[in-house]
Amino acid sequence: MTAAALKSDTKEIVVERVFAHAPEKVWKALTTAELMGRWLRMPNKGFAPVKGNRFTYQTTPAGAWDGVIHCEVLDVRPNERLVYSWKGGDASNVGYGAPLNTVVTFTLAKVEGGTRLSLVHSGFVLPTNETAFKGMGDGWQKVVPSIGEIAGEQH
């Protein structure tokens, strides 16, 4: 694994789940400002399910970054698809709070017994070797053994 090979690499997070509710209900939870705030557990300002709409989320600040996520609705197909940009961070931060220029795509599909909701959060630019840190999502203890490989590669 070389630094050059990873430099322009972007990664995405994919989460899928079938909810025992009709697409219309899931859509409502995804696109009603008040409901969004409840399940995302952070308030938004100015959301409307209209292409070109700009809104913000307020999350935890870090260093020079005020914790505001700037979003713009890129695509809306009622009960099927919602796409918005998700930008924030500050160049002076490393890790949480670092610059972030990503896109969030929700896709809904009617399936037997409910709705399959798929979330793709794309555009993560990973610093060299950062890929190996993904396991940290599962708890920091698990990642300790892999740090060696990564740290070793830097020498």
Partner 1 sequence: MIQAASIDTVMRTLADPTRRAVFERIVRSDEITVVELTRGSGVTQSAVSQHLRSLKQAGLIVDRAQGRNVFYSAEPKGLAPLFDWMSHYAVFWRDRFAGLETLLKEIDP
What is the closest distance, in whole angstroms, from the C-beta atom of residue 105 to partner 1 in the complex?
A: 12
Interacting residue ranges for partner 1, rule: CB under 8 A:
11, 13, 15, 17, 19-22, 25-26, 28-29, 35, 38-41, 63, 89, 92-96, 98, 100, 102, 117, 119, 121, 124, 126-127, 130, 133-137, 140-141, 143-145, 147-148, 150-152, 154-155
Smallest CA-to-CA distance from 101 within 1, 4, 12, 2 is with 12
Q: Which is nearer to partner 1, 25 or 54 (CB)?
A: 25
Cα dihedral: 79, 85, 86, 91 (round 10): 170
Q: Which is nearer to partner 1, 3 or 40 (CB)?
A: 40
What is the closest distance, in whole angstroms, from the C-beta atom of residue 134 to partner 1 in the complex?
A: 6
What is the closest distance, in whole angstroms, from the C-beta atom of residue 36 to partner 1 in the complex?
A: 10
Q: Which is nearer to partner 1, 75 or 149 (CB)?
A: 149
Specify burial of residue 65 (Cβ count, 10 A radius: 0-12, 13-18, 19+).
buried
What is the closest distance, in whole angstroms, from the C-beta atom of residue 133 to partner 1 in the complex?
A: 6
What is the closest distance, in whole angstroms, from the C-beta atom of residue 125 to partner 1 in the complex?
A: 9
Q: Which is nearer to partner 1, 33 or 98 (CB)?
A: 98
Q: Which is nearer to partner 1, 46 or 127 (CB)?
A: 127
